[in-house]
Amino acid sequence: MSQQVKHPTNYSALSTLVTVFFFWGFIAAGNNVFIPFCKNYFHLDQFQSQLIDFAFYTAYYIGALLLFAYGAFGGKDLVGKWGYKKSIIYGLLFSAMGAAAMIIAVNANTFAGMLVGLFIVALGFSLQQTSAQPFAISLGDPATGTSRVNLGGGINSFGTTIGPIVVAIALFGTTAAITDEKIASLSLSKVIVLYSCVGALFIAAAALFYFSKKVPAGFLVEKVESGTKALYTLLIMTGLLVIMFVPVFSSYKTDPNNLNDVEKHALEAYRLKWLLGALAVVVIGLLVANISSKKNAEGWGAMQYPQLVLGMLAIFVYVGVEVAIGSNLSELLKQQEFGGFQSSEAAPYISMYWGSLMIGRWAGAVNAFKLSDRTKILLQIIVPLIAFAVIIGVNTVAQYDMKPLYYYLICVLIQIVAFYFSKNKPARTLMIFGVLGILAMVIGTQTTGIVGTYAFLSGGLFCSIMWPSIFSLSIAGLGKYTTQGSAFLIMMILGGGIIPPIQGKLADIIGIHQSYWIAAICFVYLAFFAFVVKGILKRQGIDYDVQESAGH
């Protein structure tokens, strides 16, 4: 083996790069406050409000699919051709176009137009995310690449923590006592101001990258591996998904307030049927691909590996459950048995949920550094407590009453213990946190009040480290197909566009509280994946006891 040349970390470029990680978290988490605002203003039901997540996360799938299709047909990696730097600049400018589309839609007072704007913003994010993570690894010694990606993940999580607070202040003002009736009467001019600022930040970040001479171009010259059968399978799945989504979209304008009980039930069943059909397309499509590739691996590219195909479904489920818990949380907290909070009053709870992801990711980042075992254990106790204090502090500065969340520290301590027993092994970590996620959702569905609220919030703690664990287990042993496999995994962020609307529709039928059984089922699959993937890798001669993580 040739000796690998170690390069010093380009901290100037890295500090510029992590700004895009912040944007992903800020905008995505901000949607969780934006959802109840749109629900009240446009008089939407819970399902209709979840179309915001649908538009946002479906764009990730479409964007990654287009990049893969270009490589399959053109024989070149588009991101590699442009270089990481230009790809991120183009992605930021594309997101700025989405912000402009949002402003136009707001002026036209059209919810559909706002969905299109969010879709364009997320298309830009798809290009940014495909570029930024490998770019972070390339900015120094590959042996310390994980620490740079985890740094980006920590900044991303900080964005998810303050996103709901900033958006809540921008839309609702500084007081937490705004009623839903006042929210419904708010002028959309505040949304115009919000997205004018967001668009300006995108352009400023693009300019920062463009004029920074210390940020390298990041060109990547690598032959794209063939995967025509995989491409055709994904295109067929996409066509079937369109067929499933058209009836759902065609019914979103229907005002449930104008329907009688029988008509409401029929509409709910109609929407749920097509959404479950979309879920079936993804699950069956991936399983059929895996079975077919076992018979003849030629043309399947990375999809010939069962760990990747099952991992694609795991990423789909993970992103779906992470988004669904947070997106439906505001509606849950409106229920009297959960406190009867107004939408703006729920902002600190939403912030704590997304902050729980930050707590876990900060703790997980400790393992990225070369430290003694004793130091690692000490930091895995201290760092989560510091992250928890940051969340409490940020919300307190925003003048929210955080006293009801002080005892959430108990959940953080449970996560610290889980980290200790996981021993930094991805399969074991995913199994432990998957089981804890199941227990949390079951407890949440069977209780109310502060216990139920804490249980659902802790879903963020147990989701926090799942992306790197799933990602590393899924691409283990792929060799020359690693880059292609990574692109397939990013496509499965689509789960954030399908699972939340399914929970939203189920909430319209059986109530928001019991709809969280969807989250419990998702955690069951994640625990199952952790159980079977270790055996799959062992049969391929891979003993995967050392974590090799990526970040999201």
Interval 95-109: pLDDT, tens: 999 989 988 988 888
The 8 Å CB, 24+ separation contacts for 475-479 are 475/308, 475/311, 476/307, 476/537, 476/542, 476/544, 476/548, 477/305, 477/307, 477/537, 477/540, 477/542, 478/302, 478/305, 478/308
Q: What is the pLDDT of residue 546?
A: 47
From first CA to last CA, the distance across the chain in angstroms is: 31
At residue 4, does pLDDT exceed 50?
A: no
Measured CA to CA, the distance from residue 101 to residue 5 in angstroms comes to 46
**Is pLDDT at 509 greater than 90 in this prediction?**
no
DSSP 362-400: HHHHGGGS---HHHHHHHHHHHHHHHHHHHHHHHHHTT-
Contacts of 132 (CB under 8 A, 6+ apart): 17, 20, 21, 84, 88, 152
Token representation of residue 61: 């799938």
Mark 368-390 as b/e (b = at least 16 C-beta within 10 Å). beeeeeeebeebbbebbeebbeb
Hey, what are 40's tokens?
């009240």
Query: What average pLDDT score do residues 139-161 get?
Result: 68
pLDDT of amino acid 439: 97
Structure tokens at 62: 């479409």
Q: Which residue has the higher pLDDT, 378 or 30?
A: 378
Range with the poorest average pLDDT among 333-337, 475-479, 534-538: 475-479
Task: Classify residue 290 by burial, with Cβ atoms within 10 Å: 0-12, 13-18, 19+.
Answer: buried
Instruction: List, for residues 454-473, the tens digit of each pLDDT value.
Output: 999 999 999 988 887 888 88
pLDDT at 305 over 50: yes
462 and 437 Cβ atoms separated by less than 8 Å: yes
Q: Residue 295, class by beta-carbon neighbours within 10 Å (0-12 exposed, 13-18 middle, 19+ buried)?
A: exposed
Q: How would residue 75 be classed by pLDDT, with cut points 50, 70 and 90?
A: low
Cβ-based neighbour number of residue 70 at 10 Å = 16
DSSP states of 490-542 as a string? HHGGGHHHHHHHHHHHHHHHH-TTGGGHHHHHHHHHHHHHHHHHHHHHHHTT-
Structure tokens at 179: 């009623």
The C-alpha R_g of the chain, in whole angstroms, comes to: 22
- Cα 473 from Cα 248, distance rounded (Å): 35
Asked whether the beta carbons of 364 and 471 are under 8 A apart, the reply is no
Phi, psi (5° rounding) for residue 346?
-80, -10
Whether the pLDDT of residue 392 is over 80: the answer is yes
Please tell me the least confidently modeled range out of 103-117, 131-145, 264-278, 311-325.
131-145
Output the pLDDT for position 71. Answer: 74
Residue 301 Rama label (left phi>0; alpha psi -120 to 50; beta): left
Q: What is the pLDDT of residue 1?
A: 35
Q: How many CB atoms lie within 10 A of CB 472?
A: 20
- pLDDT greater than 50 at residue 550: no
What SS3 state is found at 71?
Answer: helix
pLDDT bucket at 545, cuts 50 / 70 / 90: low
Predicted local distance difference test score (pLDDT) of residue 177? 43
Question: What pLDDT was estimated at residue 176?
Answer: 47
Q: What is the mean pLDDT of the chain?
A: 81
Which has the minimum average pLDDT: 212-221, 313-322, 457-466? 212-221
Q: Compute the average pLDDT of residues 181-205.
A: 76
Query: pTM for this one?
Result: 0.81
Report the pLDDT value the prediction gives residue 144, as an integer from 0 to 100. 53
pLDDT beyond 80 at 263: no
Report d(CA 220, CA 322) in Å as an integer.
32
Indicate the residue type of 276.
L
Q: Nearest 5°: CA angle at 479, between 473 and 482?
A: 65
DSSP percent split of the chain into helix, strand, coil, nearest 5: 80, 0, 20
Within 13 Å of residue 283, how many CA atoms lie on the same side as its CB?
Answer: 11
The pLDDT score that the predictor gives to residue 378 is 93
Give whole-number Cα distances, 124 to 119, 193, 235, 410, 465, in Å.
9, 21, 21, 39, 25
With beta carbons less than 8 A apart as the criterion, state whether 282 and 237 touch: yes
Rounded CA gap, 351 and 392, in Å? 9
CA distance 341 to 403: 15
- Does 335 have pLDDT greater than 70? yes
User: Minimal CA–CA distance to 521: which of 288, 279, 285?
Assistant: 279
Lowest mean pLDDT among 19-28, 65-74, 217-226, 532-541: 217-226
